[in-house]
Structure 1
Amino acid sequence: MAACSSEGARKETGTPPASGSSVPKTDSSQTAVDTTKKTVSAPVPAKDTTATPDSAAAAPAVVVKDEAASKPGAILPHKRIVAYYGNPLSKRMGILGEIAPDKMLEKLDGEVKAWQAADPATPVQPALHLIFVTAQGAPGKGGMYRLRMSDHLADTVISWAARRNAIVFLDIQIGQSTVEAELPRLEKYLKLPQVHLGIDPEFAMKNGAVPGRKIGTLDAKEINYATAFLNDLAVRYNLPPKILVVHRFTKRMVTNYKNIQLRPNVQFVMHMDGWGDRALKKNTYNTYIKREPVQYTGFKIFYYNDTKKPGSKLYTPKEVLALNPKPLYIQYQ
């Protein structure tokens, strides 16, 4: 199964945004935005012969007890999140940046309606998922193979989300940096009740590796730093439970998953983040998400890459809802 961000949308056209498109400008230190362009491939998972048949009736939404679920303002499992992913400075990193904001929000409205129709009992919470720190194929000024976006970009996406009462995820691709080094800068946004966090192990590089040349990895202890950071913010600022989304489509992307610490003010989503035809995506979900559950699960749909194979069609909401466990975080790229 292939990388999540390297080919998430149509190929970048290289043309500047049209006048009046509201695409924010970078600050003077930003020279690039696209995550490294080289496609990364992951091994195709073996067929899951031990899994029980998927069915909506046997598909619990939460794998383990969630202490945060009963707290005021908790989103999961009371709502299903449907998110648009990408970066407004790039047309090739996802739907969030591929089309003009008004059209993007209208398209998101359509997906929200489709999911609501597929599961009327579960309200749908719209979301915008911004890649706020992007991995790079060159070291850059700090030598960390990552590029931090401007605050103006976060402010812009948060303002777009407010037009739909949507929540926001700020996603980090740390390159050769660390989770500990990147999170403090995000505190001013994460202390807002509607802003949550995503981490992409695909671009967390160890031992001097370069993003795009191999698939990265994060250990439970690194993820635990993030859950502790979010839990502390929730307590300090009296916030509703925070959500952490961790992307995954191979075994090595997340190590020692049993040691991931759940916190009383954090809701954890392990998100199936690979692209391919429906059989491959289901197999990946069963192999890497279902077999190593943490709390809640997510499922990504790629508008273009999931249909590369002749005859392939996008997963429908009804088909995703038949997975076991039933995903409560849905992301479109």
Structure 2
Amino acid sequence: MLAVAGLSACSTRPAEGETAAAGTTAAGDSAAPPAPTDTIKLKALAMRRDSLRADSIVRKSGALPGAILPGHRIIAFYGNIRSKGMGILGREPKEQMFRKLEKVLAEWQAADPSRPVQAALHNVTITAQGTPGKDGKWRLMNSKATIEEVISWAKEHKCILFLDVQVGHSTLKAELPKLEQYLKDPIVHLGIDPEFSLATMPGVRPNQRIGTFDAADVNYAVQFLARIVSENKLPPKVLTVHRFTRKMITNYKNIKLDPRVQIVMHMDGHGEPTLKKDSYHAYIVKEPVQYTGFKLFYEYDARPAPYHIMTPKEVIALVPAPLYIQYQ
């Protein structure tokens, strides 16, 4: 990650109970064949009905069954299990890393005994690249074996798992369908990172400039996850959206909430505590969406001395207190 500073369309509904009947007219002529079924419109109608039902449940109970937020605080280790340079997930040997995660979970639980912690792994699964590749999209997806391995790690240690997406010069519409088979698993959730979304910046290499997503992109991700939840009868998915500058997310007021997807706007910048708090207030608190997240960097936040990695109590003191915490 870069430093904080710097850089519906409506369709006509068929009448209830109406069926298309084959046969003859009163004059004996053959009736016209029924119009072909528009499966896309039928699916959209089913999704709309499911969304209304979900809204009704939420109004009565406060959340859909199985929702992680706001009843829990998610504590995630971020990185890529095939890379030592992307974060704590992958930097240390597996069992050593999980021992550290257990210690961190205990610290957070002690800091706020009123809210149970939920352990998580956050694996960058589609990663922006320094070269364009054969299709010129500047991104690379983990192999099926790697994704299945990190899912097994999560299940072995009772974690949920976030598959994170850096689209490079591709788009969410092109990349997210590649992950659908994994997102059907109840423990698998999604992260999207506008920092590395450069489709509107032709010729720009990832890390040269900070990318951007519009509300329309976030809404696409929400609709994509909501469909998976409905079709597979899953509990709500969590969607994390990285952010540490204003332009990383445009038109935030147009982001549409859906009870089947819990959106976390995640403060993803590194630096000394005062700068991180200011960024949280400027880009997360002042442009609210739903839930909030906060990132801590083992390698960058504590440098130079006397700066330090913020403690759980310091982070919980933020208003609102973040419900998603990520360590890189």
State whether TM-score is above 0.5.
Answer: yes
- Alignment pair present for 1:143 and 2:133: no
Selected match of 2:189 from 180, 191, 196:
196
Residue by residue over 1:169-203, the C-alpha shift from the partner in whole angstroms, topping out at 9 and shown as x without a partner, is: 00000000000000111001111100000000000
1:162 is displaced (CA, Å) by 1.1
Residue by residue over 1:268-288, the C-alpha shift from the partner in whole angstroms, topping out at 9 and shown as x without a partner, is: 000000000001100100110
> What residue is the counterpart of 2:250 in the other structure?
255
> What residue is the counterpart of 2:48 in the other structure?
none
1:264 is displaced (CA, Å) by 2.1
Residue by residue over 1:276-321, the C-alpha shift from the partner in whole angstroms, topping out at 9 and shown as x without a partner, is: 0001100100110010010000000000100112211110000000
Selected match of 1:312 from 294, 303, 307:
307
Runs of 4 or more, structure 1, over 4 Å off, are 66-69
Selected match of 2:76 from 72, 83, 105:
83
The secondary structure found in structure 2 opposite 1:309 is coil
Residue by residue over 1:98-117, the C-alpha shift from the partner in whole angstroms, topping out at 9 and shown as x without a partner, is: 00111111110001000000
Q: Say if 1:69 and 1:77, in contact at 8 Å, map to a contact too.
A: no
- Alignment pair present for 1:129 and 2:92: no
Instruction: Give, as a single letter, the amino acid of the residue that structure 2 aligns with 1:134.
Output: T
Selected match of 2:6 from 22, 32, 43:
43
> What residue is the counterpart of 1:175 in the other structure?
168
Residue by residue over 1:157-178, the C-alpha shift from the partner in whole angstroms, topping out at 9 and shown as x without a partner, is: 1111112210000000000000
Instruction: Give, as a single letter, the amino acid of the residue that structure 2 aligns with 1:296.
Output: Y
The secondary structure found in structure 2 opposite 1:252 is helix
> What residue is the counterpart of 2:212 in the other structure?
217
Structure 1 residues 81, 41: CA separation in 2 closer, same or farther (over 3 Å shift)?
A: closer
Separation in 1 of the partners of 2:209 and 2:160? 32
Q: Say if 1:234 and 1:242, in contact at 8 Å, map to a contact too.
A: yes
> What residue is the counterpart of 1:61 in the other structure?
none
- Alignment pair present for 1:207 and 2:170: no
- Which protein has the bigger helix share? 2
> What residue is the counterpart of 2:239 in the other structure?
244
More displaced 10-residue stretch of structure 1: 307-316 or 213-222: 307-316
> What residue is the counterpart of 2:266 in the other structure?
271
Separation in 2 of the partners of 1:121 and 1:258? 31
- Alignment pair present for 1:162 and 2:125: no
Gaps in structure 2 of 5+ consecutive residues: 8-57
> What residue is the counterpart of 2:85 in the other structure?
92
Separation in 1 of the partners of 2:135 and 2:117? 40
Q: Say if 2:163 and 2:191, in contact at 8 Å, map to a contact too.
A: yes
1:332 is displaced (CA, Å) by 0.2
Instruction: Give, as a single letter, the amino acid of the residue that structure 1 aligns with 2:115.
Output: T
Instruction: Give, as a single letter, the amino acid of the residue that structure 2 aligns with 1:207.
Output: M
Residue by residue over 1:80-111, the C-alpha shift from the partner in whole angstroms, topping out at 9 and shown as x without a partner, is: 00000000111110000100111111110001
TM-score, reference length from structure 1: 0.80
Selected match of 2:292 from 270, 292, 297:
297
More displaced 10-residue stretch of structure 1: 207-216 or 180-189: 207-216
Structure 1 residues 87, 69: CA separation in 2 closer, same or farther (over 3 Å shift)?
A: farther
RMSD: 1.4
Q: Say if 1:87 and 1:97, in contact at 8 Å, map to a contact too.
A: yes
Residue by residue over 1:187-238, the C-alpha shift from the partner in whole angstroms, topping out at 9 and shown as x without a partner, is: 0111110000000000000231221110000000011000000001101100
The secondary structure found in structure 1 opposite 2:262 is strand
> What residue is the counterpart of 2:179 in the other structure?
186
Q: Which has the larger radius of gyration?
A: 2
1:69 is displaced (CA, Å) by 5.1
1:42 is displaced (CA, Å) by 3.8
Equivalent runs, 1:11-22 vs 2, <5 Å: none
The secondary structure found in structure 2 opposite 1:305 is coil
Instruction: Give, as a single letter, the amino acid of the residue that structure 2 aligns with 1:110.
Output: K
- Alignment pair present for 1:101 and 2:101: no
Aligned pair count reads: 275
Q: Say if 1:80 and 1:125, in contact at 8 Å, map to a contact too.
A: yes
> What residue is the counterpart of 2:112 in the other structure?
119
- Alignment pair present for 1:152 and 2:152: no
Separation in 1 of the partners of 2:212 and 2:134? 23
Instruction: Give, as a single letter, the amino acid of the residue that structure 1 aligns with 2:193.
Output: D
1:43 is displaced (CA, Å) by 3.1
Separation in 2 of the partners of 1:148 and 1:328? 28
Instruction: Give, as a single letter, the amino acid of the residue that structure 2 aligns with 1:237.
Output: N
